[in-house]
C-alpha cells in the first residue's frame, strides 16, 4: 500500500507556491501526492516532478470534465472535446511522472438529466475510455474513472455499474476507483462492493462521510480495508478531503460549516489513521 494526499484540500490548481506544502506532506508520513489537473497545462508539472523525485514521493492526478466536454454526450463534438482533454491530461501526467489519472472522466460532475443511463451512453463511455486507454498505453499512466453518488451523476454510481463497464472495456491499463465517501452513500454492503469491483479497482480514495478527517467519522474503514486486501489490492490509498478554506471548492463540494480544525489536522490525523488501520486490517 502507498499512502497519498490529494492537494484538493488546499487548491484546485497547484503552483510553485505549493512546493513547501509538498515538503510538509513528506514529513507527515505520506508516500505521494495527488494533483488536481482540471486544466492539463494549468500547473508547472516539470517543476513538481523534479521536486517530488528529490523527495522520493510518488504522484497521481485527478481531473474532471470541463464545460463542453462529455464522453457520453449524444453530441459528437462534446465527445471529441472530452477525449482531447483527457489525452492532454495523460500527456501532462507523463511530464509530472504520475502513475494514474483518475476522477469522474465520463461526464461533468453535477450533470443530472432526470433519468438513469441508457445503453447508448454506456457504449459511448466504453468507446471513449478504450480510446483513452490506447493513448495511455505504454506511458505508465493508468486510467481510473470514478463512480459518484446519485446526487453528483446519474451515469455510474456503484461498483456493480463500474465493474460492468470496466469488463466491457477489457484493458489492463483502464479500471475504476473505489471511493469510501461515495460507497458510503450508494453501496448496500462495503465488503460485497469491493468484491464486485474486484480486479478492476485500480485506485482508492479514502474520504470521510463529512469530507474531512478519515477516522473521525462513521465510515467502516476496517471492513473496507480488509475487503481490499482480500482482492489483493496493493495500490494507492489517497486521502481526499475538502474544507471551507477555498470558497470555490467549498461550494462545489457543498461544505457549509467547519468540519475540522485545519487542513494540517486532516492530513496528519487522517494519514496516521489510514496507515495504522491498513497495517492491522
What is the set of domains in the chain, with CATH numbers? 2-280 (3.20.20.150)
- Chain centroid offset of residue 132 CA: 17
pLDDT at 99 over 90: yes
pLDDT at 249 over 90: no
CA pair distance 205, 69, nearest whole angstrom: 24
pLDDT at 253 over 90: no
Q: What pLDDT is stored for residue 248 in this prediction?
A: 79
Q: What pLDDT is stored for residue 244 in this prediction?
A: 79
C-alpha cell at 227: 475487503
User: Tell me: the pLDDT tens digits for 65-98?
Assistant: 999 999 999 999 999 999 999 999 999 999 999 9
Residue 3's beta-bridge partner residues? 237
User: Tell me: the pLDDT tens digits for 182-232?
Assistant: 999 999 999 999 999 999 999 999 999 999 999 999 999 999 999 999 999
| Contact assessment for residue 129 and residue 172, using Cβ atoms and an 8 Å cutoff | no
Q: What pLDDT is stored for residue 49 in this prediction?
A: 98
Q: What pLDDT is stored for residue 245 in this prediction?
A: 74
Average pLDDT of the residues in 111-135: 98
Q: Helices (DSSP H) in the chain: which residue ranges?
A: 19-27, 45-55, 76-96, 119-136, 159-169, 180-186, 190-197, 221-230, 247-253, 263-280
CA pair distance 239, 62, nearest whole angstrom: 12
pLDDT at 247 over 90: no
Helix 263-280 to helix 221-230 angle (10° resolution) is 50
Amino acid at each position: 500500500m502507498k499512502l497519498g494526499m490529494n492537494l484538493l484540500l488546499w487548491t484546485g490548481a497547484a503552483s510553485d507556491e505549493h512546493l513547501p506544502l509538498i515538503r510538509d506532506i513528506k514529513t507527515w508520513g505520506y508516500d505521494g501526492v495527488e494533483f488536481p489537473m482540471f486544466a492539463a497545462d494549468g500547473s508547472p508539472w516539470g517543476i513538481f516532478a523534479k521536486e517530488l523525485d528529490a523527495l522520493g514521493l510518488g504522484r497521481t492526478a485527478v481531473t474532471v470534465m470541463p464545460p463542453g466536454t462529455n464522453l457520453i454526450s449524444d453530441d459528437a463534438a462534446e465527445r471529441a472535446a472530452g477525449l482531447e482533454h483527457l489525452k492532454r491530461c495523460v500527456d501532462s501526467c507523463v511530464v509530472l511522472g504520475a502513475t494514474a489519472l483518475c476522477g469522474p472522466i465520463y461526464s461533468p460532475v453535477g450533470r443530472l438529466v432526470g433519468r438513469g443511463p441508457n445503453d447508448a451512453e454506456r457504449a459511448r463511455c466504453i468507446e471513449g475510455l478504450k480510446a483513452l486507454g490506447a493513448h495511455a498505453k505504454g506511458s505508465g499512466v493508468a486510467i481510473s474513472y470514478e463512480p459518484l453518488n446519485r446526487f453528483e451523476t446519474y451515469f455510474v454510481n456503484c461498483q456493480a455499474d463500474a465493474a460492468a463497464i470496466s469488463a466491457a472495456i477489457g484493458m489492463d491499463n483502464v479500471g475504476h476507483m473505489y471511493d469510501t465517501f461515495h460507497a458510503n452513500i450508494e453501496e448496500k454492503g462495503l465488503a460485497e462492493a469491493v468484491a464486485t469491483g474486484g480486479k478492476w479497482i485500480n485506485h482508492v480514495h479514502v474520504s470521510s462521510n463529512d469530507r474531512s478527517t478519515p477516522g473521525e467519522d462513521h465510515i467502516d474503514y476496517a471492513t473496507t480495508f480488509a475487503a481490499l486486501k482480500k482482492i489483493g489490492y496493493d495500490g494507492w490509498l489517497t486521502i481526499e478531503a475538502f474544507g471551507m478554506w477555498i470558497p470555490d471548492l467549498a461550494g462545489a463540494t457543498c461544505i457549509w460549516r467547519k468540519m475540522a480544525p485545519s487542513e494540517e489536522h486532516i492530513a496528519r490525523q487522517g494519514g496516521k489513521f489510514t496507515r495504522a488501520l491498513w497495517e492491522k486490517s
